[in-house]
Structure formats: structure tokens, C-alpha cells
Amino acid sequence: MKQRFLHIWLIFFIIIFSIFPTLQVHAEKNAEVKNVIFMIPDGFSASYATNYRLYKGKEAVWDTMLVGMHRTYSANTPVTDSAAAATAMATGFKTNNGMISIAPDGKKIKTILEVAKEARKGTGLVATSTITYATPAAFGAHVISRKDESEIAVQYLDNEIDVLLGGGKTYFTSLLESGKQKGYEIVTNKTELSNVKMPQKLLGLFAIEGMVPELDRHLTSEPSLEEMTKVALKMLNQNKAGFFLMVEGSQIDWAGHDNDPAWAMKDIEAFEKAVEIAVDFAKKDKNTLVVIAGDHDNGGMSVGAYDKYDAKLDVLRKVKSSGRYMEMQLDKNRSNAKEILKKHAGIDLTKAEVKRIEQADKPVIAINRIVSERALIGWTTSQHTGVDIPVYAFGPGSELFKGLHDNTDLPKMMAKVMGVNFP
């Protein structure tokens, strides 16, 4: 009898422990989502993801979080710019290229950041461009033209976004005293940022215009995207109601415009470090959703090129400076091109390649094309393309992002998991 009783209890415990993981997963899916961290690698597509995996030599942190894709077209063209793409990702509505969170008919459209603020959540924007550039602007401002960065800066401070970190000092010069009166602590370099004592509001302006490429950051006192993300999360986590934070790896896009593969890979690496900070935060917090999605592709980058079934991304690991920086090191006649490419890219130029740089209308393009050829990376354009973009998600609510979506679906799903009212 006793043996039979023990046998029954043993079966009971086996059943309970076999379903426990399922119960745990279900609980995590239905956990309260107080915080959303939206991370945008600007200009990033599947080809960038593949080349970065080859460059790194192993999977990126987001590879296991791939859940779907999204379409990027704008209201007036199949190929979007960053303003229209970010507007869709911030408001859930399509607009024309160049417009910032304003519909084609001129009406302002409420953003996911503004809705989070109405719910008394903390709000933040982090970017390596000017903080007033198209992508961050779409979450915190409304202007007809993305070029109106001075007005965007005014709207940020009027809306009292809690954390603003990036470049763009020039657009805040006349606003700094007003910012201090509104309670912003203002920091201008890496050391000041690391010494912040957790004020209620923080404005970090680390460059006159955009910040430098990650390849060249060691030449400056600018913080990394990882460091800015870490401080932003500490700041916003003070809000008991939760927060919405947008973090942009802005210069992946700029590298695409320059067709600079080494700059692109290094800035993706910097973005990945910021993602790791966000995911670690979400793992510990248990009620934070992390969403990662580029806004569009840039450059039409290929994996392999020049009639060869191969890719040599290891070439890019030897590159120590951006093409723009290497161009700046050329002398007046560009007679030192061979020395510059050897020093900064580990490349021994042929006589024909030296001549290409010496005779080029834009030496930076010639330099970047030579580096791309060595790495077997091709480019179809120096502008955006209209391909679909990968979507990655981690944390409670991530299952909503499975499948092929429109970019306008992303903020709607974020609002749903946060439980906030969205138009």
C-alpha cells in the first residue's frame, strides 16, 4: 500500500514538473509590460545582418530574436527616407518623404512617445546623429521638413522629453538656459555623462553636428552608444510608471550612403553592444519589451560580389579608420594614398588603385570602393532601397511581432503591450 502511494506521488510530481516550463513561458508572455525599448539600426537590412555575422565570426545577439519582417514604403514612394519611415514607426501612419510626424495633409500625428508621456511614463531619445535628426525627431516633434532641426530642438524641450542624448549642440545654443530652467542637467562629453548623479532630466550634446563614426571615436571625448544607452536606462528606470526609450544606431545609415563597409560593420558592432545592455536590462526587469528594427535599407549592399562565390569580411577587421578620415589624411596631390591605406586599412594598394584615388572626383568614394572590392562587398546605390527589413523582439509581448508587418504596425503593437491608448 505504501509503495503504491509513493508511486502515485511520483507520477504527480513528474506531471507537474513537465508542464512547469510551459507555465513559466505563459506567465512571461502575459507579464505586465511597463517599459518598451525601441532600438533602430538606421539603414540596416538582412544583407547588413549577414555581413555583420561574417565580420564578427559568430551570431549577433539579435539573431535568436528574429520574429518577422516589415515593409518600409512611404505615402508617396516605394522607397522611403528616414523621416517618413520613422514617422510610420512612431505614429502608425504613413507620410511623405521628408515630413516629421505630420500627415500628408499637414495634420500633426500623435507619437508613441507622446502617448507614453501622457501615461506618466519616462521618455528618452538616444542617437549618434544629431539628436534632432529625422529618426529621433519623428518620436518627439512635428515639422513639415526634417531640415528644421532648430524647431525640433525647441519642441523637445517644450515637451520635456526626460532624456536626450546625441549630437547637435548647434541646434540648442540659444536654448540651454531655458533647458536648465526646465530642470535639465546638461553634459557635453563622456566624462560628464559617466558622472551624472541621476537628475530628473538629462540633455547630452556631444558634438556640434552628428557624432563621429565608431571607427574614429577614440579621437574624441564622445561617449559610445552603449554608454549613452546605459545612462538613459538608469535615468528612466527611476519612473515607477515605466518608460519608453528609442535608441538609434544612426551611422550605419551614413556608412551606407558612403558605401563604407568598415564603418558600417563597426557601427553595427557599437549598436550590438547597446542592444546587449537593453536585453540584459530586460532579462533582469522581466516586464520590459525590446524591439529592434531598421527603418530601411541603404546602399543595396551585397554579400559577395565581383563574380566570386565568396565573401572576405575579415578584410574589414583590419580597417582602423573611416573612409572619410582616410580622405582627410591625404595630402594635396594625394601622393601619400598608398601609405594612408596601409596604415589605416591594412591594404597594399596596386598602382592602378593609387591612380584611382589620385584621379577621383571624390577620393572617399574611391577609397571605400577599393575596401569593398577587397572584402567582396557590392553596392547598388549610395541611397536607400525599398526592401523589407528584419524585426527582432525580446521580452513579454514579443510574440505579437511574428510575421510580415507594415512599419505602421510596430508602434501599435508596442502601445498594446504597454496598455496605453493610441490613436
**Residue numbers annotated as active site:** 82
Other C-beta atoms within 10 Å of 191: how many?
A: 10
Helix (H), strand (E) at residue 253: helix 251-258
Length of the chain in terms of residues written: 423
Nearest to 167 by CA among 203, 118, 197, 122: 203
Contact 47, 380 (CB under 8 A): no
Edge-to-edge strand ranges of the sheet holding 201-205: 184-187, 201-205, 163-167, 122-130, 243-249, 35-41, 288-293, 389-394, 66-71, 403-406
As a whole number of angstroms, the distance between CA 78 and CA 5 comes to 69
Q: According to DSSP H, which parts of 346-384 are helical?
A: 351-359, 363-375
Q: What are the CB-based long-range contacts (under 8 Å, 24+) for 149-158?
A: 152/100, 156/125, 156/131, 156/132, 157/182, 157/184
Cell numbers that stand for 351 in this block: 598602382
Q: Which residues pair with 164 in a beta bridge?
A: 125, 203
As a whole number of angstroms, the distance between CA 214 and CA 225 comes to 9
Q: Which residues pair with 108 in a beta bridge?
A: 102
Three-state SS for 163? strand
| Contact partners, residue 254, CB within 8 Å, separation at least 6 | 43, 129, 210, 213, 263
As a whole number of angstroms, the distance between CA 235 and CA 219 comes to 27
